[in-house]
Amino acid sequence: MKKVVLITGCSSGFGMAGALAFARSGWRVYATMRDLSKQDRLLHQAHEEHLPLEVKRIDVTDQSTIDQSIKELTQEAGRLDVLVNNAGYGLIGPLEYLSMEQIQDLFNTNLFGAVRMIKAVLPIFRRQKSGHIINISSVAGLAGLPLYSAYCASKYALEGLSEALVFELDPFQIKISNIEPGPFDTEFSKGSVKYGSSMRNHDSPYHVLNDYFFKRHKKTQYDSPESVACLLVRIAQTSHPQLRFPIGKKVKELVLFKKFMSISLTQKVMKHLMKVPQKA
Ligand SMILES: NC(=O)c1ccc[n+]([C@@H]2O[C@H](COP(=O)([O-])OP(=O)(O)OC[C@H]3O[C@@H](n4cnc5c(N)ncnc54)[C@H](OP(=O)(O)O)[C@@H]3O)[C@@H](O)[C@H]2O)c1
């Protein structure tokens, strides 16, 4: 019997690449997205490669769409082996100028969206005595980055949630893993990121940091999302996966820094390497 995977946020990026990679590896794939008018790119590629794929609507901030899709999946497939919590977006800007609404919306998707999905699949996983939750976290869930405070907070929260769940779910043979990508070439880097109101304001007290961000952003080299998609399939096929899978340029080095150096030394090295401005 084919193994079954459900992925959130499949209209682009890691979600779309992951859905295709699982289908190529013979999995039964439930590719979900919040806006079904965006399904054509995924379906076209699947059709080209003769890959079976099922698309369902899930907005991770809307419980009724989650309940409906899980109900349909249970009726159709009768089981679920892997949940990939991928849906999310970035919010960039000095915390002082992010509105509470922007920050709460971010958490509602990046953290509470994943929580809603996990709560929805746990009864299935517990009944089966098997299942694997894979969260797309971020390097921003492992290290604080300038102007990413709210985004970092949402991803650190996902890391804490996962670390605790290992203990809670182990007795039911349910596994949990997080992938922590660095910069990858998806809509995230092109347009899906949201900015705080002060980011393009030259009168902002943070304008030096803001200008620094845009200059750095232009120079950033992005990896292909395919490598994250391959990693997803590999993790899903591992019997005893580890909790964390950092991936991307300089991410492993950063993890080593944090492991072996004090936080103050790590931050000094990061400021130096990232050339973060020291004066406003
Ligand atoms: N690319 C990177 O450099 C990078 C690095 C580290 C971590 N990440 C994480 O990777 C994940 C995927 O992002 P990506 O890089 O693949 O960017 P992306 O191409 O922008 O994909 C994000 C996906 O999430 C979906 N989404 C957003 N809000 C949603 C909601 N409320 N309900 C359901 N789906 C929703 C988007 O749908 P719409 O098309 O409808 O907006 C889209 O399908 C995110 O969690 C992101 O934080 C990305």
* Structure tokens belonging to residue 277: 């401005």
Q: Which residues are catalytic?
A: 151
> What are the pLDDT digits (tens) for 176-194?
999 999 999 999 988 789 9
* Sign, Cα dihedral of 129, 34, 16, 159: negative
> What are the pLDDT digits (tens) for 101-128?
999 999 999 999 999 999 999 999 999 9
Length of the chain: 280
pLDDT given at position 20? 98
pLDDT given at position 198? 87
Q: Provide the percentage of residues in the chain whose pLDDT is more than 90.
A: 89
In the three-class reduction of DSSP (H, G, I as helix; E, B as strand; rest coil), residue 148 is classed as: coil
* H-run or E-run covering 129: none
What is d(CA 279, CA 161) in angstroms, rounded to the nearest whole number? 36
What is d(CA 11, CA 48) in angstroms, rounded to the nearest whole number? 17
**Sheet strands (E) in 96-165:** 131-136
When pLDDT is averaged across residues 25-41 and rounded to a whole number, the result is 98
Q: How far apart are the first and last CA of the chain?
A: 60
* Structure tokens belonging to residue 270: 């990061």
CATH fold label, 4-206+223-249: Rossmann fold (3.40.50)
What is d(CA 109, CA 86) in angstroms, rounded to the nearest whole number? 10
Name the one residue in this structure whose structure tokens are 């899980």. Answer: 70
The alpha carbon of 268 and the centre of ligand 1 are apart by a number of angstroms equal to 31
Please answer whether residues 197 and 145 qualify as being in contact, where contact means their C-beta atoms are separated by less than 8 angstroms.
no
> What are the pLDDT digits (tens) for 255-280?
998 999 999 999 998 999 889 998 88
What is d(CA 227, CA 263) in angstroms, rounded to the nearest whole number? 30
Note if the pTM is more than 0.95. yes
> What are the pLDDT digits (tens) for 67-93?
999 999 999 999 999 999 999 999 999
Q: Which of ligand 1's atoms lies nearest the C-alpha of 140?
A: 6
pLDDT given at position 159? 98
pLDDT given at position 113? 99
pLDDT at position 162 over 90: yes
When pLDDT is averaged across residues 155-173 and rounded to a whole number, the result is 98
**Predicted confidence band at 234 (pLDDT cuts at 50, 70, 90)?**
very high
What is d(CA 175, CA 129) in angstroms, rounded to the nearest whole number? 10
Residues having CB within 6 Å of any atom of ligand 1: 8-9, 11-15, 33-35, 38, 58-61, 86-89, 109, 113, 136, 138, 181, 183-184, 186-189, 192
* Structure tokens belonging to residue 6: 């459900």
pLDDT given at position 280? 86
The alpha carbon of 16 and the centre of ligand 1 are apart by a number of angstroms equal to 10
> What are the pLDDT digits (tens) for 38-59?
999 999 999 999 999 999 999 9
For the chain, the average pLDDT equals 96
Nearest partner of 36 among 52, 19, 57, 12, judged by Cα: 57
Residue to mutate, 8, 10, 11, 222, ligand 1, most ligand atoms under 8 Å from C-beta: 11
